[in-house]
Amino acid sequence: MYELEELLQLESGLGVPTGLGPMIHDAAIGEDVVIFTVSRGGCTDVQVLCPEIPTHDIMQIDDSSTSPARNNIRTVAKIYYQVTSLTIGQVEAGPFVAIAGWDEESIILTFQPIHVASQQILRIPYSFGDEGIPLESIVSMATASLLSGNFLLLCGTRNGRVLTLEICGSTLEIILSRCDCIGATTAILSKDEYSHSGDLFFVSCDSKVCALTINTPETSATSSERCLRSLGINQVWLTDALKPDLQQPKITSIARLPPNGLSSADSNLLLIAGSQLLLAELSTQPKAVPRQISIKGTPTRLLYSHTLEVLIVAASIKGGSTLLFIDPDTGEDLSQPVDQKTKESVEFVSGLGNTNERVFRLFEWPYTKDGKTWNFIIVSTDAGRLLIISVADQERVRDDLLRAGLSHLEVENSHHTRSKISYYTRHKFKCAEPVYSVTGFADGLLWCAGENLFCDVLDLGEKRFKRAAQYQLPSPAIDLSYSNGAIYALTKAHSLEVLRLVATPGDFQIVRTHGDPLSRASLHHAMVSLPLANRPVHLVSDKLCSMVGLWPAYNTKADTLVTLFEAELSYSVLRFRAADCRPVWDNVRISKGINSNTNGLGKMGAELRDPRKRSELLGLSITGVLSHYTFLDFKTWQFLRFIINLTIRSPSLCEFTYQDDPVPLDLAVEPKLMMHVDGDILKRCLEGRSLENLLHISHDTAETRKIFETFRELLRAADCGKLENNAPPAAYVDQAYAFLEFFLRPVL
């Protein structure tokens, strides 16, 4: 092993005066080989330090030198462009050096065999692929060998991309490629030399570390695409059992320690975070990492305020209800309740602090009038109170957030201390019955107390709310939402009621337009607007562990909500939430598949890259399970439903619930439970790579031929690839796995 000091001594031994000679800029260490670059004016020499090179093969670097040339250094390549990174790889013909650089036209990759004079030069445009992904210069590289004789070259760029290239081992040409976004700053790659389950790489970017895993296929047939698709990316999170509220430190470097007898796991990591040196054990299986934030009370409701950038928590403290404003980064309580008139600090704002009172509803209401926007916090309680909370001096809060952002950018490990957020009660309502739900609209508030739905509008002249309309519901509305003049009231015992708020001269009127003909013990409602549909789809969950999708019917004898699909779950969904929660490298606007001019998913991939479809619909169950829901087009549903029909007839995949009957080749849409595709069942099929067994490809019978023919037709109809009719069965199966991987990839 040669250290940097030894390389400098070797270089100075060439007879060049110190300070005037060539400078070593980069180095890479391989097995008994050291590669380093030496700048000479406008040229860069790539030199090799290799003890096995015979004396007669040595090329003296400086012909004018009077000192004898070292017998283990020679120049393998002269580069006339700016070199930014280099690494050493191994193919069947021997070791080679990969040199990355750039010029004004493109990124340049040079592959130079160490023992052969020939070299291969490849140019990569700064705009990558059909999507035009912007690339900057390559600053780090690492390699992984494939059983086919080819190898993978992973390149980290200056703008946070990881470019993965499959290179032919004989011709050193690019076969396939893909590009993933890790962050916005420089991506530094390093290979884990001690990984036992596939090839593992670490990439440092944006003061975070991600683990890149590549599972090398055992067969060469279609192994290239399968290998690139198998690249998994997971962020490395640090946890401490003694500190459940541990904040994630800004990691600048990471390395795996070599195996030793002190740890049975042999998976210890050494990390640098600012001035700290951390020792941690790596869990090879990705899993959820909980973070605990301690507060001084019992939380009952919470929301994240995008305007204040805090968690607003409705909590009970010593039996009294109150609001807490929690910094999500530090866990610090920033709340400061004040009196509306005196602005002096108080223990509870007016309307809160009542004993044994529970907050039913908590949300942020932006009220806009005459080009100005006021952000209010709305609180309703089981004691019949409806409170409108204001934050004092919102301009100061915005300036405080701006200073915190600038401080974060200027100083690497700085933590700007945020000021307290003062809040007070601006308006309050009181009635005899619990206020179950409340929502806002352009002119005021809609709220339900008991079975009465009230519409109150804000009179700016008198600075108070006035009653504009009232409506009697069949049962209390436990959830309210408003959109484009329509009121959606989810009642406690009569499912979803669709009402319309009609403006009349000087007043409003509430009229019923649609309703669910079935009564349900409802829990929550979510409205999903699909880009290709002219009507929203309504999701309703109930206490019987079921979920239904409803669609409003028009121009019928009785305008009702028609059932589109039903789902039987193992839990009841308490809340639906929509969020853009996927990691940055899973941005659906960027191709996630094989970037050889396609993502391997055809029209389906193009539709899912539509920015309007980026919100993920999540459901929180009463048992604490967080589930994810996706709407499918009809052809995609047909293919996935067929896979479900195959899987539920397998005793190995559905041991206790499998069906012992022939596989139906004609897909039925009735009952509506058939329109539900269970992703958990599909995941078992994907993880076990069970499609070959489910399709009985090795059994050539009339029944298996019909099953495979249906499988092939549905796969082609879903347009998830450009497979030909005469493609081998393995190609269809491999493309089906890509289809499943796309839909079943983790959402968090």
User: Other C-beta atoms within 10 Å of 319: how many?
Assistant: 12
Q: Where are the beta strands (DSSP E) in 580-624?
A: 616-621
In this prediction, residue 13 carries a pLDDT of 41
Q: What is the predicted pLDDT for the residue at 348? A: 93
**pLDDT-based confidence at residue 170 (cuts at 50, 70, 90):** confident
Average pLDDT over residues 211-216: 81
Cα–Cα–Cα angle for 557, 561, 564, rounded to 5 degrees: 120
Q: What is the DSSP letter of 672?
A: G
Q: Which helix (H) or strand (E) holds 211?
A: strand 208-214
Residue 137 corresponds to which tokens in the numbers above? 């210069």
Question: Identity (one letter) of the amino acid at 332?
Answer: E
Identify the pLDDT of residue 35: 75
pLDDT for the residue 196: 67
In this prediction, residue 187 carries a pLDDT of 95
pLDDT digits (tens, 9 = 90+) for 392-440: 887 788 777 777 665 554 444 455 678 899 999 999 999 999 999 999 9
pLDDT the model gives residue 470: 94
- pLDDT tier at 192, thresholds 50, 70, 90: confident
Overall average pLDDT of the 502-519 stretch: 89
Mean pLDDT for the stretch of residues 717-723:
70
pLDDT of residue 515: 92
Say what percent of the chain tops pLDDT 70.
83
d(CA 476, CA 436): 7
Cα 115 from chain centroid? 44
Q: What is the pLDDT of residues 33-69, one digit of tens each?
A: 777 777 776 677 777 776 544 434 433 444 444 444 4
Average pLDDT taken over every residue of the chain: 82
Q: Which percentage of the chain shows pLDDT scores above 90? A: 42
CA distance linking residue 216 with residue 144, whole number of Å: 9
pLDDT in tens, 318-331: 888 999 999 988 88
Angle formed at CA 729 by CA 726 and CA 735, multiple of 5 degrees: 100
Lowest mean pLDDT among 150-159, 208-217, 497-506, 708-717: 208-217
Q: What is the pLDDT of residue 613?
A: 46
Sign of the C-alpha dihedral computed for residues 699, 661, 640 and 738 taken in this order: negative
Read off the pLDDT band of 176 (50, 70, 90): confident
Distance CA 260, CA 222 (A): 38
What pLDDT was estimated at residue 224? 54
Residues 256-275, buried b or exposed e (16+ Cβ, 10 A)? bbeeeeeeeebbbbebbbee
Tokens of 581: 């929660």
Given a contact cutoff of 8 angstroms between Cβ atoms, the answer to whether 96 and 88 are in contact is yes
β-strand pairing of 33-40 with 43-49? antiparallel
**How far apart, in whole angstroms, are the C-alpha atoms of residue 249 and residue 31?**
34
Separation CA 633–CA 714 (nearest Å)? 13
Reported residue count of the chain is 748
**What are the two backbone dihedrals, phi and then psi, of residue 105, each rounded to the nearest 5 degrees?**
-95, -40
CA distances from 589 to 62, 593, 739 (A): 52, 12, 17
Sheet of strand 546-552, all strands in order from the earlier edge strand to the far edge: 522-528, 537-542, 546-552, 561-568
Least confident of 336-340, 562-566, 580-584: 580-584
Region 199-214 average pLDDT: 90
How confident is the model over 288-315, as pLDDT tens digits? 888 889 898 899 999 999 889 999 999 9
Rounded Cα gap, residues 419 and 401, in angstroms:
9
Q: Hey, what are 682's tokens?
A: 């599909």
Peptide bond into 671 cis (omega under 30): yes
Q: Tokens for 3, please give them.
A: 């250290």
| 3-state helix/strand/coil string of 256-283 | ECCCCCCCCCCCEEEEEECCEEEEEECC
| 491-502: average pLDDT | 93
Torsion angle of the four alpha carbons 366, 368, 374, 375, in this order, in degrees rounded to the nearest 10: 0
Once rounded to an integer, what is the mean pLDDT over residues 158-181? 90
Query: HSE of 370 in the Cβ direction (CA atoms, 13 Å)?
Result: 1
Confidence (pLDDT) at 141: 94
Rounded Cα–Cα distance for residues 269 and 281 (Å) = 6
Residue 356: C-alpha distances to residues 204, 318, 359, 489 (Å): 49, 9, 10, 27
Question: Is residue 422 a contact partner of residue 395, using CB atoms and an 8 Å limit?
Answer: no
Residue 262 pLDDT greater than 70, yes or no:
no
729-744 and 634-647 helices, crossing angle to 10°: 100
Give the tokens for residue 161: 């991309």
**737 close to 225: Cβ distance less than 8 angstroms:** no
Kindly state the greatest CA–CA separation across the chain.
104
Beta strands in 492-631 (DSSP E): 496-504, 507-515, 522-528, 537-542, 546-552, 561-568, 573-579, 616-621, 626-629
Distance between CA atoms of residues 147 and 473, nearest Å: 68
CB 47 within 8 A of CB 53: no
List, as own/partner pairs, every contact residues 127-132 make where C-beta atoms lie below 8 angstroms and the sequence separation is at least 24, other chains included: 128/161, 128/163, 128/179, 128/595, 129/177, 129/179, 129/591, 129/595, 129/597, 130/591, 130/597, 130/598, 131/589, 131/590, 131/591
Average pLDDT over residues 250-255: 88
Going by C-alpha positions, the residue among 706, 613, 716, 724 that lies closest to residue 666 is 706
Mean pLDDT throughout 181-203?
86
Per residue in 100-122, pLDDT (tens digit) is: 999 988 999 999 888 877 888 99
DSSP letter, residue 649: T
Q: Is the pLDDT of residue 510 over 80?
A: yes
Give yes or no for a contact between 152 and 214, defined as CB atoms under 8 angstroms apart: yes
